[in-house]
């Protein structure tokens, strides 16, 4: 599934980020493919806020549609 389908409070694993620039920037923030993150907040029709430890990132909804995730954590 893609990141825009996540529910608030749900933990998930990042599977694939297609855009290279986004991928590199996300690694700097601690959000690499394979990492387990938590969905902190969903702004209605707007950005999704994810958290890894103490690091919070807001991602635009369109970007979320392109990011593959899974909720099976193992």
Partner 1 sequence: MASHNHNLTLDINIPAGAKKVVLAGNPNSGKSVFFNYFTGMYVDVSNYPGTTLEISHGKFGNDVLMDTPGVYGISSFNDEEKIARDIILSADLVINIVNAVHLERDLFLTQQIIDTGIPVVIALNMLDEAEKRGLGVNAELLEKELGVPVVPTVAVKKKGLEEIKDKLSEARKGKRISVLKNIITKYMDRVGTEGEALLILEGDPVIAARHGVEPDNLREDIYLARRRRVNQVVQIVMEEKQVKKTLSAQLGRLMIRPVTGIPLLLLALWAMYQVIGVFIAETVVDLMEEVVFEEIYSPAVTNFLSRFIPEGTVFSEILAGEFGLLTMTVTYVFGILLPLVIGFYFFLSLFEDSGYLPRIATLVDRALSGIGLNGRAVIPFILGLGCVTMGTIVTRLLGSEREKRITIFLLGLTIPCSAQLGVIVGMLAGLGYQFALAYLMVILAVFIAVGSFLHALLPGDSTDLLIDLPALRIPRVDNVFKKTMIKSYQFIKEAIPLFAVGALLISTLSLSGLLERVQIWLTPLTVGWLNLPAGAATAFIMGIVRRDFAAAGLASMSLAPVQVLVSLITITLFVPCIASVLIIFKERSKKEALLMWAGTWVVAFLVGGIMAQLITLFSFVGESGSIMAAAISFSVTIVVLSTLCKLKYRGSQKVGAIPLGR
Most distant CA atoms of the chain, gap in Å:
30
Q: Which of 9, 60, 70, 71 binds partner 1 (CB under 8 A)?
A: 60
Q: Is 45 in the site for partner 1 (CB under 8 A)?
A: yes
Establish if 22 lies at the interface with partner 1 (CB under 8 A). yes
Helix (H) or strand (E) holding 27: helix 20-29
CB-based burial label for 37 (10 Å; 0-12, 13-18, 19+)? buried
Q: Does 27 bind partner 1 (CB under 8 A)?
A: yes
Q: Which residues bind partner 1 (CB under 8 A)?
A: 20-30, 32, 40-41, 43-47, 49, 52-63, 65
């Amino acid at each position: 599934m893609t990141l825009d389908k996540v529910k608030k409070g749900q933990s998930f694993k990042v599977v694939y980020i297609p855009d290279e620039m986004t991928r590199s920037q996300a690694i700097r923030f601690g959000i690499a493919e394979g990492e387990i993150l938590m969905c902190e907040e969903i702004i209605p029709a707007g950005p999704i806020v994810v958290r890894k430890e103490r690091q919070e990132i807001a991602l635009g909804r369109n970007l979320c549609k392109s990011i593959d995730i899974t909720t099976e954590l193992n």
